[in-house]
Each structure stands twice: as structure tokens, then as C-alpha cells.
Amino acid sequence: MPRIPQEICALCKGAKKLCGARVCPILIKQSSLIEDAKNIIGKRSVEGFSPPNLLIGDYGYPKVNVGPISTHNFDFALEDPESWARNRLDLVDILKMRINMLYAFRKVEVTKHFYFVNDIKEMIISLRPVDVDIYLKKEPKLLIRFDANIPPIGASGVLERIEIASNPVTTKKVEQAISENVKASIIIPELWKHGLNFYYIQRLLSAGLLGVKPRRRIVPTRWSITATDTIMSNFFLKNIKHSKQLSEAALYYWEYLGNKYYIVLVPNDYWSMEMFEIWLPFSVWVKKSSKPVIIHIHEDYSGKPNKLDGGYMAIKYAILEYLNKINRVAAVIAVRIITPKYFAPVGNWQIRESVRLALRSHPIKKGDVEYLLREIMIREKNSLNIDLVKRSWLLKRLSHLTLDKFL
């Protein structure tokens, strides 16, 4: 078999199967982590709690696996990525928590999902964990599932039936949103303005509970995450389009789970952004590469990136959320460095939350944008041999004179 280029692995992240393999060979090697989930095996019925959450696959679309995620451990039941990042849960703790989850699924047509979703609708819309009784057709299989966008799952089995054993906690706004015949791009920002967080809204979208009713369908979880990032980013971008620019450039930093994030906010009259995603040798997707693998994505004021990538959209969402909060417009250079400490993917929630936390902290440096980029290069000189100043698409654009300079 020919050697697969490392650029393919970094772009794919085990999700797109760009190499042609049905199951990512890199992720198979992580199967030693499944030991903690063995207490789920051997049971065809499980009494437990749902975070609550629903996992929808994309393999075989438009007929996909759909089902609830549950756990027997109440301490693991609340799915709260904001709290995980804020409290700095480490990679091992997150993996232990997630592989104790059971995924009970059923094959469902995306446009004919209502009979199934209605059965578990009370679970899906709840803001708090709910008691569930899961009954499987066979004993579940223990195969840990890693994904660049979605937190891992331990065991899975074909769902026979589910019983909701407690009442959901929800709001009138959610019930109204589900009943209304309104585009998802309109109702999602409305839910956000009413204080509902990103992950809850994404779950409603994935379950096919939002949008124009004749066109509603369940959306694979991975797709719904990127769709929610996109809808909210467009909403924020529209809000800040005519806002004032920043007074000076600032560099923000955060490190979490072996990922380093540098965010440079640059004074500018209009929005633009570029991202350097740099996978160091021996990190999870580039085990055999002797050089860093770089993914470079950018966009101008139109808000349309030259490549579609879930990690990029998570960064963009967090930055635009912050700019919307301070009512400022800016150009942005984001640098994500993935180190070997990130030995197993846990989902792109950690990207979104890390950038949020970086922007909530004080800038580590202020000054000229070239100076800030060189500061990143100095701080990472032992692992990063990349001239960000020369390679920056955005810096070249900012150096060009705009028409108003001639007036």
C-alpha cells in the first residue's frame, strides 16, 4: 500500500476518509483506551442518565445511525464543554468520562425521522440530565469512537426501545422555536439571545427540531456543529460590520489539552481572517511526519473562507462572538499549534472554548502586527520553524493601500 501523505491525514482528521479507508487506521491504534467502559458490556438494558444528547452519524447518508447517548454515572451526565475547559479537565479525565457513555442507535431516514425523534423529544429539549432506560437488541459492542469534531464514545448497540423516566427542564422560548415555521438562520440567533448556549442550540438543530417545517430533517452531528458555527458567525459578522475598529493590535494566548492558541486582533475597517493550523510531528494526526503540517485558511470581508474546515469555523465563531460583545470590527490572525500532548481527539469544542478563554484574558502583548507575529515565532522557536510574517496572506492585504488613502 502506498504511503499516505501527512497532509491528507491532517486535512481529513479521521472524518472524511480521504485515504479511502473505511475506518481511520490512526484511530484504531487508540483502542487500548476502552478498558474503562467494560462495565457497560454484557447488558441489554441500562438504567442511566442522558446528558442529554443525541448522536447522528453521516455514514450512509441519507439513511444514518441516530440515537441517544447515556451513562450509568450521574457525575458524567451533564454535557458541559464550557465547564470542562474553564476547569481545565485534562485529556485522560475527559476520555474516561466519555468512554463510559453508551450510544444506542437506530437506522433512520433523515427526512422521515419524526416518529423516532418524537419518542425522545422530551430528552432532547431538556436543559438538565434526564433519567432514561435503554433497551438494546443485542449486547453493546465496545469500540471507542474518536472524531476531530465530536467527543468520543465508548460502547454502542442497536436500540430496541427507550423510556424517559423523568420530566425534562426546558423553556417556553424553546417550545416556541420548535413550534414555529421559521428558518434556522433566524431562530438560532434568537435562541442565543435568550441565553441558550451553543451546544444546546446545536443539539436542537441536529435533531431536526428547528427550521422551516416542510424542510426539517435530522442533521449529522458533525455537520450540525459546523452549521451552527456558520449561522452564528454570520449573525455576529452582520452586527459588527459598521462597528468601530480597535485602537491597537493585541496578542492573546491560551493553552489547553496540548493545543496552543495565539490570536492576533488587528485594527482594520473591515473583517478578514486567516488561520494557521500547525500540527507538530508526533501529534495525533501526523505521527510519522518529521516536519510540521500546516493548514492555511483565510477569508476576506465577504466572510467566506477559501476552505471549509470545522476547526476554522470554531475559531471564527469564538472570535466574532467576542468582537460582537465589545462592538468592534477587526482583522484576525489565528495560530493553532497542536503538540504531541494532544494524543487523542476529543472534539472541536476544545478549540471553541480555548479561543473564548484566550479572549477573556488580558493580551500578552500589544503593538505592531509584525511585532506580534514575531513574538509568536520567538515563543515557539524550539518547535516552530515557520516565518509567519512572510507566509501571512492577511499581512500582505493590510500592507496594500486602500482607495480611501488616495482621496
In a domain, 103, yes or no: yes
In a domain, 7, yes or no: no
Statement to judge: residues 386 and 253 lie in one domain: yes
In a domain, 169, yes or no: no
Statement to judge: residues 152 and 41 lie in one domain: yes
Q: What does the alpha-carbon distance between residue 120 and residue 289 come to, in Å, rounded to a whole number?
A: 45
Q: What is the pLDDT of residues 9-59, one digit of tens each?
A: 777 776 776 665 555 656 655 555 555 566 677 788 888 899 888 999 999
Range of the domain at 214: 179-240
Using DSSP's 3-state secondary structure scheme, residue 349 falls into helix
User: 99: which 3 cell numbers?
Assistant: 468512554
Statement to judge: residues 258 and 204 lie in one domain: no
Q: What does the alpha-carbon distance between residue 11 and residue 389 come to, in Å, rounded to a whole number?
A: 23
Statement to judge: residues 67 and 52 lie in one domain: yes
Which range among 110-114, 183-187, 320-324 shows the weakest confidence by mean pLDDT? 110-114
Statement to judge: residues 224 and 292 lie in one domain: no
In a domain, 11, yes or no: no
Confidence tier at 405 by pLDDT (50, 70, 90): very low
Statement to judge: residues 229 and 248 lie in one domain: no
User: 302: which 3 cell numbers?
Assistant: 465577504
* Measured CA distances, 333 to 158, 263, 309, 364, 376 (Å): 45, 6, 16, 15, 11
Q: For residue 1, is pLDDT > 50?
A: no
In a domain, 392, yes or no: yes
The CATH number of whichever domain residue 319 belongs to comes to: 3.30.230
Helix (H) or strand (E) holding 185: helix 184-193
- List Cβ neighbours of 290 (8 Å cut-off, separation of 6 or more): 281
Statement to judge: residues 248 and 370 lie in one domain: yes
131, 164, 197 — which closes off a domain? 164
Statement to judge: residues 89 and 104 lie in one domain: yes
Query: What is the structure's pLDDT at 2?
Result: 46
Give the whole-number percent of the chain exceeding pLDDT 90: 64
Residue whose C-alpha cell reads 491528507 in the numeric block: 8
Number of compact structural domains in the chain: 3
Q: What is the pLDDT of residues 45-76, one digit of tens each?
A: 888 899 888 999 999 999 999 999 998 877 77
Query: What is the structure's pLDDT at 362?
Result: 97
In a domain, 339, yes or no: yes
Q: What is the pLDDT of residues 136-178, one digit of tens each?
A: 999 988 776 677 788 888 789 999 999 998 888 999 999 999 9
Statement to judge: residues 271 and 392 lie in one domain: yes
Confidence tier at 249 by pLDDT (50, 70, 90): very high
Statement to judge: residues 26 and 128 lie in one domain: yes
In a domain, 209, yes or no: yes
In a domain, 225, yes or no: yes
On whether the CB atoms of residues 119 and 67 are closer than 8 A, the answer is: no
Statement to judge: residues 249 and 393 lie in one domain: yes
Q: What is the pLDDT of residues 358-395, one digit of tens each?
A: 999 999 999 999 999 999 999 999 888 899 999 999 99
Nearest to 165 by CA among 198, 126, 136: 126
Statement to judge: residues 195 and 259 lie in one domain: no
134, 164, 194 — which closes off a domain? 164
Give the whole-number percent of the chain exceeding pLDDT 70: 89
Q: What does the alpha-carbon distance between residue 346 and residue 55 come to, in Å, rounded to a whole number?
A: 15
Report the largest interatomic distance among the alpha carbons of the chain, rounded to a whole angstrom. 76
Nearest to 284 by CA among 20, 35, 33, 2: 33
Question: Quick one: average pLDDT of 196-215?
Answer: 96
